[in-house]
Amino acid sequence: EAGVTQSPTHLIKTRGQQVTLRCSPISGHTSVYWYQQALGLGLQFLLWYDEGEERNRGNFPPRFSGRQFPNYSSELNVNALELEDSALYLCASSSGQGTNTGELFFGEGSRLTVL
């Protein structure tokens, strides 16, 4: 069974640019979560999507946005990139809320460097 896949694995952008990160959840999972892992910091919750809807959002500015598609894959968009956006962006998936035990299944992440 394929795990959570993310793309691209690495990318370099300059300040002010925009980036789109992609995530495909485990087959059968309807919830997708995005986390930011900056160097030396823990995981910061960004967004939660379930059944195509944004269900919760962390304390990030509006230039961080995303969406979930009908096939449950997801995109994370970051506009007007700043140096401090450099981080590993992790996507995770889980089964629907009715059967969710709380366990998250993570992808390997997309490492974004902003110069």
109 binds another protein (CB under 8 A): yes
CB of 21 to another protein, least distance (A): 13
Phi, psi of 83 (to 5 degrees): -55, -40
Q: Residue 25 and residue 12: Cα distance in Å, rounded?
A: 24
Closest of 104, 75, 86, 74 to residue 10, by C-alpha: 86
Binding mask 33-72 for another protein (x = CB under 8 A): x-x-----xxx-x--x-x----xx-x--------------
Q: Which is nearer to another protein, 15 or 54 (CB)?
A: 54
CB proximity list for 71: less than 8 A, separation 6 or greater = none
Q: Residue 79 and residue 77: Cα distance in Å, rounded?
A: 6
106 binds another protein (CB under 8 A): yes
CB proximity list for 115: less than 8 A, separation 6 or greater = 12, 13, 14, 15, 83
CB of 39 to another protein, least distance (A): 11
- From the list 15-23, 29-37, 61-69, 73-81, the region that binds another protein by CB under 8 A is 29-37
| Interface residue list for another protein (CB under 8 A) | 4, 31, 33, 35, 41-43, 45, 48, 50, 55-56, 58, 90, 92, 97, 100-109
